[in-house]
Amino acid sequence: MSTANTASTGLHLLPEQDGSIQALAGEVPAVSVKGLVKFYGANKAVDGIDLVVKQGELLALLGPNGAGKTTTLEIIEGLKKSDAGTVELFGLPHKKARRLIGVQLQEGATYSELTCAECIQLFASLYGCQTDPGLLLDWVGLGELAKRRTDQLSGGQKRRFSIALALCNDPRLIILDEPTTGLDPHSRRDTWELIRLLHKQGRSILLTTHYIEEAEVLADRVVIVDQGRVVAQGSPIELINELGSEVTVSLTAPEEAALKDLPGVTAATFSGGRWYLRCSNPGEVVGELTLRLGSQGLKELSVNGPSLEDVFLVQTGHHIGDDDENNSGNRR
Ligand code: ATP
């Protein structure tokens, strides 16, 4: 992966070409979404979402599978129509803002018979832009693969290529749908580095993720979405601080241990074979656990300070990893 900076990439914020520069002046947000609602049949996938991405901000939409993140992005991108609500990009409706945004789709659509360089040229021409495919590919760490057909890329290379496509028009706002899902840890960190560089260039970034760590390390602000609704938002540190001084005692124990009523515990959840007990006095709780389960019963016990994971748990009542379509459906 290239660690190029703005100067060496040649990527920079283009001057406005469609007369909308006035709208960009001042404090107009890159994205402003109000009261978004989307039904699929009887399923309310998006249930009144409001969100704002300030110019230059990196905002992460964090939520489990099926939370409504992709649907929200697709409405913001103009790919789907909402049933209610409004979307403005840099104070403009989609049609006028198209030139300003770059979109990485979850399932990146490319032309398999084209090489990477040809595909970039094609996408740039659709925006009426000129770009140097070699430079762009080099920048995302695919410089060697300019002549490779797009259907001959590995999964990780496809992800990076889809980011290159999103940059074809040198966008002010980049929308990334789960940019690191399915990547190995090394490729994930490379992608994070790339996203950080784009952010440092002053671009606004809206990304979705179901990786708590990704939101924590990348985002200026996190919007937690569950079952189509915003349940919390703020910077990672603000969200964590709102939890106060409570910690989480976790241990491997059977669900039948029924630890919800343990003295000193303010909230308890069971997930993946482990109990998670919120409390402000872990010493007291460990003592009570010893009485209840015996010292042999304290398996893989750990005590952790508040994290974004705890914020998610407190706000939604479940772990992000617990969720899949079925779980989401059951909680509705
Ligand atoms: P993931 O992280 O798995 O991509 P998500 O948070 O992006 O999930 P969405 O893809 O927006 O969630 O899906 C929200 C809900 O809408 C889910 O219940 C999903 O099954 C449903 N859904 C999404 N797309 C469609 C569609 N085209 N037709 C019908 N239902 C849909």
* Pocket, ligand 1, Cβ cutoff 6 A: 40, 43, 45, 63, 65-71, 210, 325
- pLDDT for 209 equals 94
- For the chain, list residues with pLDDT below 70: 1-26, 106-110, 322-332
Query: Do residues 217 and 252 share a domain?
Result: no
Query: Do residues 192 and 44 share a domain?
Result: yes
Residue to probe by mutation, ligand 1, list 43, 177, 180, most atoms within 8 Å of CB:
43
Q: Are 93 and 70 in contact (CB under 8 A)?
A: no
Residue to probe by mutation, ligand 1, list 38, 40, 178, 226, most atoms within 8 Å of CB:
40
In a domain, residue 304? The reply is yes
Render pLDDT for 265-278 as a digit per residue (tens, 0 to 9). Answer: 998 989 889 999 99
Q: How far is the CA of 137 from the centre of ligand 1 (A)?
A: 31
- The whole-angstrom separation of Cα 269 and Cα 260 is 8
In a domain, residue 5? The reply is no
Q: Please tell me the residue having the least CA distance from ligand 1 atom 29.
A: 40
Q: Please tell me the residue having the least CA distance from ligand 1 atom 24.
A: 71
Query: Do residues 216 and 248 share a domain?
Result: no
Query: Do residues 136 and 155 share a domain?
Result: yes
Domain hosting 298: range is 244-331
In a domain, residue 232? The reply is yes
Q: Are 258 and 234 in contact (CB under 8 A)?
A: no
- pLDDT for 241 equals 87
- The whole-angstrom separation of Cα 121 and Cα 115 is 10
- pLDDT for 23 equals 46
Question: Would you say the pTM of this structure is higher than 0.85?
Answer: no
Q: How far is the CA of 67 from the centre of ligand 1 (A)?
A: 7
**266 CB neighbour count, 10 Å cutoff:** 11
Strand partners, 174: 102, 205
In a domain, residue 8? The reply is no
- Number of structural domains (the chain) is 2
Among 187, 210, 239, which residue terminates a domain? 239
Q: Please tell me the residue having the least CA distance from ligand 1 atom 28.
A: 40
- pLDDT for 55 equals 93
- pLDDT for 106 equals 59
Q: How far is the CA of 79 from the centre of ligand 1 (A)?
A: 14
- The 8-class DSSP code of residue 14 comes to P
Query: Do residues 141 and 256 share a domain?
Result: no
Helices within the chain (DSSP H only): 6-9, 21-24, 69-77, 94-97, 116-126, 133-139, 155-166, 185-200, 212-218, 236-241, 282-293, 308-316, 325-331
- pLDDT for 99 equals 84
- pLDDT for 243 equals 81
DSSP string, 262-276: -TTEEEEEEETTEEE
Burial 59-88 (b: 16+ CB within 10 A, else e): bbbbbbbbbbbbbbbbbbbbeeebeebebb
Query: Do residues 141 and 214 share a domain?
Result: yes
CATH of the domain at 227: 3.40.50.300
In a domain, residue 13? The reply is no
Q: Which two tokens stand for residue 10?
A: 């040649």
In a domain, residue 134? The reply is yes
Query: Do residues 134 and 209 share a domain?
Result: yes
Residue to probe by mutation, ligand 1, list 49, 69, 82, 209, most atoms within 8 Å of CB:
69
Phi and psi at 302, nearest 5°, equal: -140, 155
CATH of the domain at 282: 3.30.70
Tell me which long-range contacts 275-278 makes (C-beta under 8 A, separation of at least 24): 275/250, 275/251, 276/248, 276/249, 276/250, 276/313, 276/319, 277/248, 277/249, 277/250, 278/246, 278/247, 278/248, 278/310, 278/314
In a domain, residue 101? The reply is yes
Query: Do residues 222 and 301 share a domain?
Result: no
Among 217, 239, 261, which residue terminates a domain? 239
- pLDDT for 319 equals 81
- pLDDT for 50 equals 97
